[in-house]
Structure formats: structure tokens, C-alpha cells
Structure 1
Amino acid sequence: MPAHAPSVVFIGGGPRTAGVLERIAANRAGLFQGPLDIHVVEPYEPGSGRIWRYDQHPGLMLNSAAADVTMFTDASVACSGPAADGPGLAQWAAGVLDGSITDVPDFPAALREQLRNLTGATFPTRQLQSQYLEWFFRRAGAALGGDVTVHRTTAVAVEPAGGPASAASNGTGSNGTGRNGSAYGAGTHLVRLANGGTLRADVVVTALGHTDSQPDADSAAWSGFAARHAGFHAAPSYTTDVDYSALAPGQDVIVAGMGLAFVDLLVLLMEGRGGRFEETAGGGLRYRPSGREPRLWAGSRRGVPYHSKISASLPGEAAGNLRFFTAGAVDALLEQHAELDFHAHLWPLIAKEAGYGYYRELFTGSPGRVSTGWAGFSARFAELDWYSTAREALVAAAVPDPALRLDLEALDRPFAGKSLGGSADVQEAVARYIEQDLALRDSPDHPETMALFVALLKVYMDLGRLVPAERLNARSQQTVHGWWHGFFSFVDSGPPPRRLREMLALHQAGLLRFLGPGLSVEADESTGEFVAASAQTGFSVRAKAFIEARLPATSVVRSLNPLLASLHSAGLGSEQQLLTADGTHSTGKLLVSDRHELLDGQGRTGGRLFGVGPGTSGWGAGAFARPNTNAAPFRENDALARTVLGVAAGIVSAHPTSTRPTGQDTPAEPAAVGRP
């Protein structure tokens, strides 16, 4: 490595870092053709990282079909860098089988069988996905000409290269050139590693993905309660990393949360303990228990699981571009209002967009279910506000079946305002809801549900591109990170339909019972039991075990990740704070600028420190996406890659005769090779 090569250190080597590396390679010729010294710090296998690592229960699956997974920034992505076509997961699997893709390890028989059985409609295992992600990482590294060194350890601290006293000088911005003991001036940092090594970094990019946090006050209290009374409590965590061995066969367990973490929990505590599912003659499933399973009592705010992924195609009129939630509409709002409110200004446009997509498919794909033509309906629909009696009357006149009229509020809270009189009513109501969800989404009979999915996905991907975060009021920024993300995930990011059929089979086997909506959990010191109840259900359940089935809330301040803790304690990074009418609230996310620069509590940049991913205040979500959807994470990856290359060019331009040392101060471990 030439002595003058700028060094870039990525902290976290999962799919998000892989995506940025690919974009650096794609953009490099046009922005910075000099050498780079790139380091990736990742304790797990690079490419898959912790969340998608191979070493998980083989029954855990993606909640996306293989045809909906790609890591490549295709031509649909509105970015400054060049498109890079490449195989999505389904095409990659076919290429491995036919020998056109050879740079993969030898797969064990079980994975080979999965490759042979994979189709675009298959929901692949996380083990198979791990191999695609690790292949993509190796490919991105190779495209950078061997400039990438992987360190299989953890980053524990970041500090200015000149010591703490120089931290203030780092406020000069991404291209600061003051001296702090580094050949490349202010902004250069030392990255301390858990193995005792140190990396000197001209640019640091944190891409940490989902990290663990110390329990909040309620979770900590419940853990203390369980310890005092010889009970069991699992605080929010990545499900597969929790030890559930203390749960006894047949033991009652209260579960709060019915999202994707709950789905994983069912796999681990049912099939993971030796049970199995059998197909029935009617197309359903029957569960054969091993006798080692506990009995789960599950509830949540909504009281139902996430909606099933959808298998229907779209026979109706092609969707095209968004019509109401557009750049022009948002710009008009920005001209009228100094600050935008999500519910008052943006949600009516989003709801109308979702409704337009839904009804377009209903009218053009299933014309026998409506009483008028699409041309006349759509023209009148376009003139009306979503929340207007005229719009409601238009739909009522054109859609005879009330069940086919889109009600987004009822979709969000299916049991709102309903009284469920006791356990038997709750069991029947939730089981019927799951059956209806499968009828709507896991059959070809209701393609309008797929159209709704597509419309919401397009809005979700475009929100950050169209709406400047700084123009949203603080309450709305909370709403975006909270309610909107939760609603989108509930409708669009649910499990494969088989998982819902498995829930019904477990319910019929008596191993899964439902607690209903509005779940509350308390601890009874007199009995040492957790008590779960809901005002809508009229019954309660007592148990010695309680699982919070969700990921830990993002929190820089309470983070268990040593690197995040270091950034916070050193003042190089801060937690996003929002000032609302009722006080200051934290999102828990690492505060970044629109260029992904880390910001301190006063909004100042820390000098060539960047952050990307779900733990940051940026808009984008996810690390991979559906092909041809102008995916937000790919747009972010490209922009960040171009920023990093621009910084590297600026560094070399400002110090053309530097004799700086190479980026690593201690020997690196060899780059990892993916393995099943």
C-alpha cells in the first residue's frame, strides 16, 4: 500500500457496509483514482454480520421471497453513481447450481438441497441468505483491487489521533486540515480494537446495524422481579441470542409482542424443541409436539400478528409512478408551511396514494366486484381529500361489498372499539383474524392487497427523498420513527404465510393462546407471578415466565455496544433529541447530518466521522431490497460512497507530499472467507 493512501475504517461489516463498498468501487473511477486503505472491523462473518450469520437455527427464514432480495444498485435507483446490475438471491442460487457463479465455498448437503428447491417465490432460510451476502461482500472487496482488510474483532473506541485535547479541532468539518499529530491533520482518528490493535483512520464509517441496549426501567424491574422469585424474564433482544433453556415443558409463558421476533420465538420453542408440522388434506398444517414445548400466551397493542406476505400477482392496470405523494405535492406543502406535520400534512397524501393503488387494482383487476368503471371513479377520486365524506360516498357507491372498502384505521387497529368477552372470545377472534388474513393475502383472489403493499412500499422508500427531515416538526419526527415505521412493518413487512398457518396449528394444538389487544403486564410481588391482562378482553393470565418479544429500542445512551458508548462519552456522537411542546424526547438514534456525518449535541460535525443504518437518525431502512424499486438504502449507500471518495480526494489534494504511515498500526488478520 503506498504511504500516502487515505485510510477508511468501516466499523461493522454486515450487508450495509458491503453495499457501501460496492458503491465505492462503482464510483471510484470518476471521483478518486488514487489508492485507498480500507479496513472492515467485524467480529462475525463479513457480509452477513451478526443478524444474518450462518450460525442460526436452520428453520429461521427471511420475511422476503427470493425474487424480492437483491444487493445490487440497479438502474431504478435514483443516484449519482453508475448502476451495477447483478444477480439477486434467486438468480445467484441458479448461478451457483449451473456453475456460472464459482466463487463460493463448498456447501453442505442441506444448503445444496435448498439451492435446488429455491424459486423466486420461496422464502429462503437465513443460512442461505448469509451465503449470498458473504459472496456479495467478497465480490465488492475484489472490485476494490485488494484494498480491503478485514479484522475479525470488535471496535471498542474511537478517539482523535492527537488525543482528547484535539477533539475540539475536529469541528472543522469533513475536510479539516489542522494538525493533530496525524499526517493528514484534524479529523484523523484512532480506532481501538478488542484484540488490542489500533487502526489509524482518515475516515470512519459506523455501520453497526441492530445493537443491544441496557434494559429500560420497566424491563430492568421485571428482570429483578424474576430473579427474586425464581422466575424467568427475557428483555428485548435479538431472539436467537437468548437462552430459553430455563423454560420447562408445559410451562405457561407470557409473551408481549407478535411481530417478527415473535415468529422467530415460535420456531425456537416449538420446532427447535423437536416438534414438527405436517400437511393436512385441506391444505393446512397439524403440529406434532415433542412434549418439550412450553405453552405461550401472546398479546400486543394490536393483539394480532403482522400481516402475511402476499402471493398474488397484479392482473390490473400497471401501477406506474406515485400520483399524490409526489415531489410537487411535498414542495407545495413546504412553501405553505415552515414546518410540516406528518398526520396533518403528509398522511392524508400517503393514505390517498395507498387508496388509489388499492382501488386501481380492484377496479381494473377485479371489475366484477365494483359497480362502475375505473376512468370515472379515478377522475372523481383524484379531486377529493381522503378524509372527506364525499370520498367515502364515492367508494360506497362504487364498491358494493363493505369488506372491500379500504379502511386504513381499521387495518392499523383491527380490534379498536370492540369488546371481547373473555378468553374464548379472544381465541376465536384472533384465530378468525389470522384465517381471514391468509384468505386475503395468500391466494390469487385478492390482488388489491398486493397493490396496497406496493403503494405503501413506494411511499416508504420515497419519504426520505421527498421530505427534508429538518422541515418536520419534532412530534412528526417521532411519528416517522415510531408509528409510521410500525404501521408499514405491520402491513408490508410481515412473515411468510406459512408462519401464520403454523400459528393456527400451534393454537389448535393448545401450545399458543392469545391474550388480545392492549396488552398490559404487571408483577405481583405477593405471588411472584407476572400478570397479563387487557381491558378489552375481560380476562387475565398469571405465569412465572415473561418474554418481551421485540428488538431492543435503539439507544446511544444505554447502548451495550462499546463503540457507540465510546462515541457518546467522548462527545463525538450524540443521541437525537426532539423538542416538542411537552418537553424533550429522544429517539435513541445516533444523530447524523443529511450527509451521514456524525453530529455532537450542538449539531457540529466530528471531522470525517460518518454513520449509516437503522441505528442512525437518517431516513433509510434495511440493507437489501426488492429489485427495481429505487430502494432508499441503495440511494444512501451511493451518496455515502461518493462522500467518502470526495473526502479522500480532498485529503490527498490538501497534503500532496504526505509521508503518512499505512492505515493499520497493528497487524491485521487475513480477510475472512465465507463458510457455511
Structure 2
Amino acid sequence: MAVVGAGPRGTSTLERLESELRRTQNYSRKITVVVFDVHDPGAGHVWSTAQSRHFLMNTPAGFPTVAPERTHAEDPGLSFDQWRALGGDGAALSSVEAEELAAMERGSYPPRALYGRYLRHVFEAAVSALRSHEAVVEVRIERAEVTALHRGDADYLLYAHPVAAGHPHPKRSGEQFSLHAHAVVLAVGHVPAHLNPAQKAMALAASEAGLTYQGPNVPGDVAWDKIPAGETVLVRGLGLNFFDAMAALTVGRGGQFNEVNGGPGRALEYWPSGREPRIVAASRRGTPYRAKSCIEEFIPASVTLRYLDAELIIQKIAEARVLNPGATARFDAHVWPLLHRDVLLAYYSFAARRHPARFNVEPEQFVKSLTEVLDAEHQAGSQVWLQSARQLVEKYAPEMGFLDVPLLGRPFDQNGFSSMSDYQVAVKEYLEYDAISSHEGEKNPLKMAIATLNAGRMVVKDMIAEGLISDESRLGEVQGWFEPLVEGLASGPPVQRIEELAALARANIVEFIGPDPEFAIDAPTGMFTVSSPWVDAPACTGRTLVEAMMPANRVLQTASPLLRQLIDDGLAAAFTMHNDQGEPIPGQGLDVKGEPYRMVDGRGVPHRAIFVLGLQLSSVQWGTAIAAQAGAALDGAARTLGDAQNAARELLRLSQV
């Protein structure tokens, strides 16, 4: 068995394989497992233990795992939080790692390098347990890049190049070798991607003008030290990668954040080292992702979904399929109206407890009346209930105002600013309010409305994986507007990052460009420029532009030699989706069939024994980068573990045929 990729998904495969071997016991044939990765096994690329300690996770320690929570002492796997509670579970930690672990709580946001150390520990434990099993002849770890895979009569032939250890770009260091494998698991994770046409054009123009263009990349791979101190660097994107760029260019250069008695939103001040560049940040919404709430749980227990009932939707789809076998749900018509109800009910229910004086009637009576409106037996997609809810708020809670949920993703939509300084003031106020809201935790109505939206996202994620939402709805609705909305609201950084960004803005280290930024290269000056149509100010200029985003997760855009060879040779293909006109559109991920996910070749025929895990499943799953949730069901929020378990079971079944 060949496992290509030894990051989180490859590690889960080995851990589930060991669990299945131990559970079933009797195997008549012997097994050899060969694991390939150019990076450190377990941590892989993104979670490298060599990256900056300033790069933080955006989920609290209690959430992620690459194995089911440990319930028996002999289990090699355990969740990250269990590993934390056990002080590293016997791992030989460095002094820095031990210090970080000792200071960490369930609600802490650890350095990504520390999570990488956890991954390495689980990988090593799983490999050790596999090697002790009587059915396993060998577990071999090859520090090598698999560049090609060919189909034989009864097996597969893999070609690989050894690499020298190194971060971030291991170099090939030996002659190509081959391996015959009866089964292959592709768990390659984040792979390099070619620039899209607009990025290619910008990169070419920048090269001709002698400017520095940094395309999308894993933050740990970027040469941040090459950005000159004192100069202006334009950063496109205010998502999670932006905060890594911000940290690398400030505290990563010797600056310091110091606590001051300013309260939430003004808790820090920044002391520069003098080696920072001036950071000019821009994104479509004009503001960064909102911060996570200061709570331990990924989704707090106080958040419930009263209306978004996946089982009820499934039942209605089943009824429709009696007459139309291909019936599916549409997000805008059948899902969003229910989730929208839940978000509004959460907002006003928490507001009734937090701000009772803002209601013209008894808050409990208002919530009861609102619930009656939301309960009304209208068709799911009807807007009648929404109008009734708006009228109820206008009459009895005008001070609260009606929560326009879609508008939360674009807080300055259609707002013009007469100067750059006016816009800076607006964004700083926005950051300070966001920090205050996060520190209030479950007391804050807006943050709990967002938490409800996030809970609904997990339901939508499951529905897409089960094939219950149509392609056209997913393309035009889920990915068209819902995904950007929920990502910007619920997938943000820990509040520490927002406090730091506010401090940097007050120190004039970071400046913001307004919504819908327009980037270009000015021919007369030979400089990058950026401006916003919503801010009346001259364009900002700089000699460096950084795309603060990961490489595109699209298999047709891949720069991975292996994935490119598989597609070019017809051994793999992009998944085909259909838009609202019924036209075929290539999806982001590989075409796969069934569960476990067998890779499908260019003729539409599934391979007998090639299985795909992780990011390359993005066409049949949504949110594939989200880690498994500790303690969750393997067919739910821990689906990545379920995928690994399904593959492990089939690998063992095939090994006995």
C-alpha cells in the first residue's frame, strides 16, 4: 500500500489503518506500507514545525484532531486537546514547545508549528503501532516526491525522486526510483498552483517594471525578510494569510506589542523596531475577517438550530424523488430561509437578555412574538415571514434595528468616504468594536448570531457531501455568496490578531484601502498602485505586492507534477459540475466515485484501488480544509476521519482478495 502524503490526511489514514487491523485481527496476507512525503512526516508542509511561532491557528485547541479521541490506552491516536492535557503524551518536546503547551488552555489558539508537533507525534505513534502488528511486514517512510503514477495489469507503478530534507523547499537529491503498489492513497494536501490569468499578467508586468510580485503561497514559504524596511508593501487580501503577513513584518522583525489599560479594542500598543515596512492592506470588503469569540468551544452549547433541520430537508427531497429521481435542494430556496430564521432568532434572543432596555415591550414577549412569526407555516423560500419579522423589529425594537445578515459581510457597502483619513478612522472603530464583541463571548448577540451561522455552515457542509444540494445551487449560491459571507464572519482569527491590527493601525504601520480595491501598475512611475472607488483619495503606491492567499485549490490549475501527469495521461479528471443552464463546468477537485472515494479516470471509470483524501475532494465536499472536530461523528464534523476509515477498511479488504 502506498500512501502519498504524510500530512494530516496521510496521518489519519495510518492511524485508522492500525485501528482497523487491531479491531479485525485475522488477516491471511502480509502487508507492506510505504509512505511518501518531501516534508516532515506528520506535520507535512502547512504545519511544518520549522515555521515561525508567530503563525497561529484559527481554531481553538479543543477543536481539531487527526484521530478519534482516545478512549483506550492502546490507541495510538488522540485529539490535540488530549495531547495538550497530557503534556505532549510523552513526546520529546523542545523547551519552546513545552512552554507553549504549559501555557495553553482549551480555548487557546496555538502556533501552527506546535500543532505540527502534535501531528508528528500521532504519525510516529501510528507507525510504531502498525510495525508491531503481525500482519505488517514493513512500514517504510520515503523522503521523496512522487512525480508519476501508471496503471499496470494488477497493480500501480509509482515513480519518485528522493529529496534532501529542508524547509521550505526540499530539493531533489538522488536518482528516480519506482515502486509497485497494489493500492494507493492520494493524500497530497496543499500543492503548488499556477497563477490565474490576472495574476500571470500582474506578475509579468511587475517583472518588466522591476517590481516585486509575491503570488499566492503558503505563508511559511514566503521570504518575508526580502521586503525592504521602510518601504510600502501592498497586501491584497485581509483573510487569514494577511495576519501571517502582518505578524511576519512586525513582531517577526523585532517589534513588540505591549499591554495597556485601554480595555478591549485598545488593549495593546505597538512599539516598532524600525525595520517594518509600511503595510497597505486591501480586500473586496475593505475590512479583515471578524475575530473569533472568546469562548472555548468551536460552536458554543448555547447555540441551537431550531429551523435548519437537515433530516426534514432530506425527507422532503426523498418525497420529491418519487416523481423526480434527480431532485435536490436549492440553497437559496430550501436551506437559507431556515438558517436565516435561526440566525435572527439567536440575535434577538441574546439581545433580549443582554440589552433589555432597547426593546419597547418586555423582551421575553418580543422573542415569543418573533418566534411565532418565524414559525409561520409559509413555504421555506417565502419572503413573507422576513417582511413580518422586519416590521416586528421596527415596531418593538427600533433601537436594536433589523439585522441585515448578508450585509454583515460588507460593513461599508455603498458608503463613500471623503478622504483616506476618514476611512482609517472608520476601520479602526470597526476593529475596536469587533474586539469588544469578541471579548463579550456568549453575551454578545452579534457574535452568537455568527456562531449560529457557523453551526448552519456545518450542516450545509454535510448536505453537500451527501449530494443533497444541486450543482447549480452550490456554484451560484453556496459558493457565489454564502461561502464568502460565512468565511469572513466565522472563519476569522483569534481576537488577539484584531487587537494587534488595531494597535498597528494606531501606530500608522498598517493602512487600509477601501472596498472593491483596484490594483494596477502605473507606467510613468513604474509602481504598483491601489485605490478604492469608495474613498476619495490618491492611489497608494509601492514597489512590492503580496497576494495574501493560499495557492488555488483547483486540479486543472495545479503545478503538482503528479496531479498534472495523472490528468494529462487520462488517469484522473476534474469532477464535472453543471450550472443553471445545464452546461458542464469543471469542478475544483478530482472526479471520484463512492465512499471510499475512488479516483475516476478520463473515461469515467473508477480505479479499483486508488483512493483520494483531503483537498482534492473539494468538488464532492465543501470546506475540505476544515479539520476534523474532536469527539464529533465520523460521518459529520469529523468526516475527514470517516473518509480515512473508509479508505483503510477498503485497503484491508482488497489486501485479502
Q: TM-score, normalised by structure 2?
A: 0.85
Tell me which residue corresponds to 1:223: 203
Q: Distance in 1 between matches of 2:479 and 2:58?
A: 21
Tell me which residue corresponds to 1:345: 334
SS in 2 for 1:154: strand
* Structure-2 change in CA distance of 1:641 and 1:509 (3 Å): same
Q: Distance in 2 between matches of 1:38 and 1:623?
A: 27
Letter in 2 for 1:38: V
Q: Distance in 2 between matches of 1:457 and 1:140?
A: 32
State the Cα distance separating 1:156 from its structure 2 match.
1.0
SS in 2 for 1:615: helix
1:36 equivalent to 2:31? Answer yes
Tell me which residue corresponds to 2:170: none
Tell which deviates more after alignment, 33-42 or 235-244.
33-42
Q: 1:417 aligns with which of 414, 430, 440?
A: 414
Letter in 2 for 1:637: L
Letter in 1 for 2:37: E
* Superposed counterparts of 1:602-621, under 5 Å: 602-616=603-617, 617-619=619-621, 621=624
- Does structure 2 retain, via aligned residues, the 8 Å contact 1:481–1:587? no
Q: Distance in 1 between matches of 2:348 and 2:408?
A: 16
SS in 1 for 2:593: coil
CA displacement 1:360-401 (0-9 Å, x = unmatched): 444467666653324554343222668420122234445443
Tell which deviates more after alignment, 506-515 or 378-387.
378-387
Q: Distance in 2 between matches of 1:345 and 1:362?
A: 27
State the Cα distance separating 1:57 from its structure 2 match.
0.9
* Structure-2 change in CA distance of 1:640 and 1:324 (3 Å): same
State the Cα distance separating 1:60 from its structure 2 match.
1.2
State the Cα distance separating 1:228 from its structure 2 match.
1.5
* Structure-2 change in CA distance of 1:245 and 1:372 (3 Å): closer
1:15 equivalent to 2:8? Answer yes
1:591 equivalent to 2:591? Answer yes
Tell me which residue corresponds to 2:294: 311
Tell me which residue corresponds to 1:116: 102
- Does structure 2 retain, via aligned residues, the 8 Å contact 1:316–1:364? no
State the Cα distance separating 1:226 from its structure 2 match.
1.6
Tell me which residue corresponds to 1:324: 308
* Structure-2 change in CA distance of 1:67 and 1:647 (3 Å): closer
Tell me which residue corresponds to 1:649: 653
* Structure-2 change in CA distance of 1:19 and 1:300 (3 Å): same
* Superposed counterparts of 1:208-219, under 5 Å: 208-219=188-199
CA displacement 1:203-226 (0-9 Å, x = unmatched): 211112122111112112211222
CA displacement 1:30-68 (0-9 Å, x = unmatched): 667424322221111211110011010121111122223
Letter in 1 for 2:454: L
Tell which deviates more after alignment, 314-323 or 21-30.
314-323
- Does structure 2 retain, via aligned residues, the 8 Å contact 1:67–1:120? yes
1:52 equivalent to 2:43? Answer no
1:549 equivalent to 2:545? Answer no
Q: Percent identity?
A: 25
Tell which deviates more after alignment, 345-354 or 608-617.
345-354
Tell me which residue corresponds to 2:157: 190
* Structure-2 change in CA distance of 1:246 and 1:155 (3 Å): same
1:232 equivalent to 2:235? Answer no
1:356 equivalent to 2:356? Answer no
- Does structure 1 retain, via aligned residues, the 8 Å contact 2:5–2:35? yes
- Does structure 2 retain, via aligned residues, the 8 Å contact 1:555–1:589? yes
Letter in 2 for 1:646: E
State the Cα distance separating 1:639 from its structure 2 match.
4.1
Tell me which residue corresponds to 1:671: none
Q: How many residue pairs were aligned?
A: 610
CA displacement 1:318-373 (0-9 Å, x = unmatched): 44565424221243146447344332332222322333344444446766665332
State the Cα distance separating 1:478 from its structure 2 match.
5.5
Q: Distance in 1 between matches of 2:594 and 2:454?
A: 22
Q: Distance in 2 between matches of 1:422 and 1:492?
A: 30
State the Cα distance separating 1:452 from its structure 2 match.
2.9
State the Cα distance separating 1:305 from its structure 2 match.
0.4
Q: TM-score, normalised by structure 1?
A: 0.83
- Does structure 1 retain, via aligned residues, the 8 Å contact 2:236–2:281? yes
Letter in 2 for 1:191: L
* Structure-2 change in CA distance of 1:313 and 1:14 (3 Å): closer
Unaligned runs of 5+ in 2: 163-175
- Does structure 2 retain, via aligned residues, the 8 Å contact 1:339–1:473? no
- Does structure 1 retain, via aligned residues, the 8 Å contact 2:630–2:638? no
Q: Distance in 1 between matches of 2:432 and 2:375?
A: 34
Letter in 2 for 1:469: G
Q: Distance in 2 between matches of 1:586 and 1:398?
A: 49
After the TM superposition, which segments of 4 or more aligned residues of structure 1 sit over 6 Å from their partners?
Answer: 83-86, 313-317
Tell which deviates more after alignment, 548-557 or 494-503.
548-557
CA displacement 1:448-467 (0-9 Å, x = unmatched): 34533443333222324334
* Superposed counterparts of 1:204-603, under 5 Å: 204-283=184-263, 284-312=267-295, 318-320=302-304, 323-333=307-317, 335-336=319-320, 338-363=327-352, 370=359, 371-373=362-364, 374-383=367-376, 387=383, 388-397=386-395, 399-402=397-400, 405-444=402-441, 446-467=443-464, 468-469=466-467, 472-474=470-472, 476-477=474-475, 479-481=477-479, 483-539=481-537, 540-580=539-579, 584-595=584-595, 596-603=597-604
- Does structure 2 retain, via aligned residues, the 8 Å contact 1:381–1:394? no
CA RMSD of aligned residues (A): 3.0
Letter in 2 for 1:250: G
Q: Distance in 2 between matches of 1:366 and 1:312?
A: 20
* Structure-2 change in CA distance of 1:224 and 1:51 (3 Å): same
Q: Distance in 1 between matches of 2:389 and 2:75?
A: 43
Tell me which residue corresponds to 1:634: 638
Q: Distance in 2 between matches of 1:456 and 1:445?
A: 14
Tell which deviates more after alignment, 414-423 or 570-579.
570-579
SS in 1 for 2:140: strand
CA displacement 1:592-640 (0-9 Å, x = unmatched): 2342221234433133212121232231523634434447463243244
